[in-house]
Chains A and B, each alone.
Chain A
Amino acid sequence: MASVFEYAPAPESRAVVDIAPSYGLFIDGEFAEAADGKVFKTVSPSSEEVLSEVARAGSEDVDRAVKAARRAFEKWSALPGRERAKYLFRIARIIQERSRELAVLETLDNGKPIRETRDADLPLVAAHFFYYAGWADKLEHAGLGPNPRPLGVAGQVIPWNFPLLMLAWKIAPALAAGNTVVLKPAETTPLSALFFADICRQAGLPRGVVNILPGYGDAGAALVEHPGIDKVAFTGSTAVGKAIARQVAGTDKKVTLELGGKGANIVFDDAPLDQAVEGIIGGIFFNQGQVCCAGSRLLVQESIQDELLDSLKRRLSTLRLGDPLDKNTDIGAINSEEQLARITSLVEQGEAEGAERWSPACALPSSGYWFAPTLFTNVTQAHTIARDEIFGPVLSVLTFRTPDEAVAKANNSQYGLSAGIWTEKGSRILAVANRLRAGVVWANTFNKFDPTSPFGGYKESGYGREGGRHGLEAYLAPTSPEGAR
């Protein structure tokens, strides 16, 4: 297949972004070294090139950041909503202005294709700030009581798969509602959050309202445990989510958790196959499958299995894997060596348990962390690759005969984040969507996001919603005659 379309390299220029050799923690409006002087290196996953050296936050830094956020809270929460709104509008506009720079930066630090950071991540980041900016002076109209109040200081811990977008999902609603934040980006992708600190400076945001603490899990745990925070917002693994739920037990801290998934993408025999194939590909190979809502379980009606798999394999063979900065690249690098090892181990387990592995002919670059798009057939519900979240470009294909069976298999999971339905029959879409226990259902489409659209899971995919009016609820204490709730 590779010979049909040959593409000349079309890399996006790196010159648009200027990465400093080192970065500090962003506390109380200033960059500072960690109290214990620790640093860590962040590398480009596509080349293993060291991009920068970043201060590593410890518990002392967490304490300092929480105190700064607390000091800032009084004034920030007392600002008229329309003033908070204007800060957020400023941030949204600066992000739009600097979106090319940020897209290149994100691609360098994360490894995902520039096509995605340019066309998905960055537009959504700006849109998210723009959306919540408009809420800041309309909170009493949000249906959360006549005089909803901010919670205080929010401790936010975000993952590496959509670094800047997850930052936006956390910071925008928190600030709009009048909270101040301490945010810890993931250790493999700290740079865009540090650039965001610079955007806060440009926007003139009061000091201490946003604090950024690059660091590892220990810093995240210290933040969650800190008695000075009122709210925990976490996106990441279900295991860490459960640990957080235990840690906050018996406190007054409010929590939202956006965790893992094992999304079922259900294709009925009357689905428009070409469109379904595009949806399946986008559903599992977008961001190398490192997406909590990925459609990682394909449930295909038995009668069209062969036809669909043929199309799917043909389409998979045309995907281009390689330099994430190349505008023609479909599949970028896996974010870290650790994640690559996890994907590799689960895929080996899939083979060992008897599932049939297939990948298109695909040359992998010699340096960096790479995994070829992979498809498993002969998968049963008992297989590990049908149950565990792989968080990589690996699709498990299962079959069904009746809609009831499809629903039962789709719901047979500890998770309940996303699902897809492909059929031309409207009543079937609605009937199946009704019975799926999942927070987001995409019918005849997949992996669509919007700041107005609530996102979040059922069951062990977490609780609370991000996005839309629902996303505000996570950062406000509603007033009702009954009391706190």
Chain B
Amino acid sequence: MKSTVDADRLGVFKTYKLYVGGKFPRSESGRVYEVTDSKGKWLANAPLSSRKDARDAVVAARKAFGAWSGATAYNRGQVLYRVAEMLEGRRDQFVREVADAEGLSKSKAAAVVDAAIDRWVWYAGWTDKIAQVVGGANPVAGPFFNLSTPEPTGVVAVLAPQESSFLGLVSVIAPAIATGNTVVVVASEGAPLPALSLAEVLATSDVPGGVVNILSGRTAEIAAPLASHQDVNAIDLAGADEDLAKELETAAADNLKRVLRPQPVDFTAAPGTGRLTAFLETKTVWHPTGSLGASGSAY
């Protein structure tokens, strides 16, 4: 990145890396691609992820799913809130990166970063409420206790929005992991740096390794193996154009992934619960209520 302190001092560039399983590897392919700002000025070389990187990320996400989905909702809420705390502390860095990535003025970029921080706070509060809103007891016509509970779908492949490289990114990651899913995220192809820097925040926010995995590169190249991967349970196509979305949805049918199609979204508006519920399954458990004094087993 550019030096901002002293014209005489040579700045220290950051090597941008992937984020997989809580670690920061380079692409196994050894490839990078040039990332520029909106005016075409070189910003960094980002890893150009391969199909193998995508598969490794799925393995990491699957490994993390049991503990993350089994964590208490309160715990997940605190972890998400911690992300907001860490981001707040690095606000200036992200304002700079978002301004570069999206060609925004400092004040507009600041508004984007503030909204992204607030989004983490919004979803942090949802973790222990969504089950009460979308689940509940069902009054069946018989002597049974019957309860429907939402559960996370599993490993979700997320194609982050191409334009909104940071607020859009946070708006698609946070709801998926709030409910206990783990994700493999494909960063905005043209503006991947805010996503790769977000990984540094996640790594220091008590988010267990593997819960969020972030890949940069060509969206179509990385998304294809994710859409057809038999151990991916769902896919968010936010960052796919019409043709790619159709191709990926077709591939996703092979193991009946849950598909969230691309749709126009104003990420600056208050989100609804749609992205929370898109990657939830409803489990309904029945048990006889029995009767007091009955002979034999009363359960």
Partner-B contacts on A (CB < 8 A): 127, 143, 145, 238, 241-243, 245-246, 249-250, 257, 259, 272, 274-275, 414, 424, 429, 433, 436, 438-445, 448, 450, 452-456, 458-460, 462-463, 465, 468, 470, 478, 480-485
Contacts and interface: CB of A to CB of B under 8 A. Distances in A.
Interface in B230-249: 233, 242, 245-247, 249
Contact of A442 (B233, B264, B271, B286): B286
A468 B138 contact: yes
Contacts of A443: 285-287
A439 B270 contact: no
Chain B binding surface SS class: mixed
B84 to A, nearest CB: 20
B5 interface: no
Contacts of A429: 287
B140 A450 contact: yes
Contacts of B138: 450, 452-454, 468
Interface string B141-182: 110101010000100000000000000000000000000000
B283 A250 contact: no
B270 A453 contact: no
A429 B288 CA distance: 12
B199 to A, nearest CB: 26
Contacts of B265: 482-483
Contacts of A245: 249, 252-253, 256
A462 B255 CA distance: 9
10 contacts: A245-B249, A257-B256, A259-B256, A441-B284, A445-B287, A460-B255, A462-B256, A463-B258, A482-B272, A485-B272
Interface of B: 133-134, 138-142, 144, 146, 148, 153, 233, 242, 245-247, 249-250, 252-256, 258, 260, 263-266, 269-275, 278, 281-288, 296-297, 299
Nearest to B153: A458
Contacts of B133: 143
Contacts, number: 140
A187 B283 CA distance: 32
Q: Please list the 9 inter-chain residue pairs (A to B) with the smallest Cβ-Cβ separation, ordered nearest first.
A: A480-B272, A250-B246, A485-B274, A245-B253, A249-B249, A450-B140, A272-B297, A249-B250, A452-B138
A11 to B, nearest CB: 29
A246 B253 contact: yes
Given A441-B284, A483-B264, A450 B141 contact: yes
Contact of B272 (A241, A243, A458, A481): A481
A448 B246 CA distance: 38
B207 to A, nearest CB: 23
B71 to A, nearest CB: 13
B272 A424 contact: no
B229 to A, nearest CB: 14
Given A250-B246, A450-B142, A485-B278, A440 B284 contact: yes
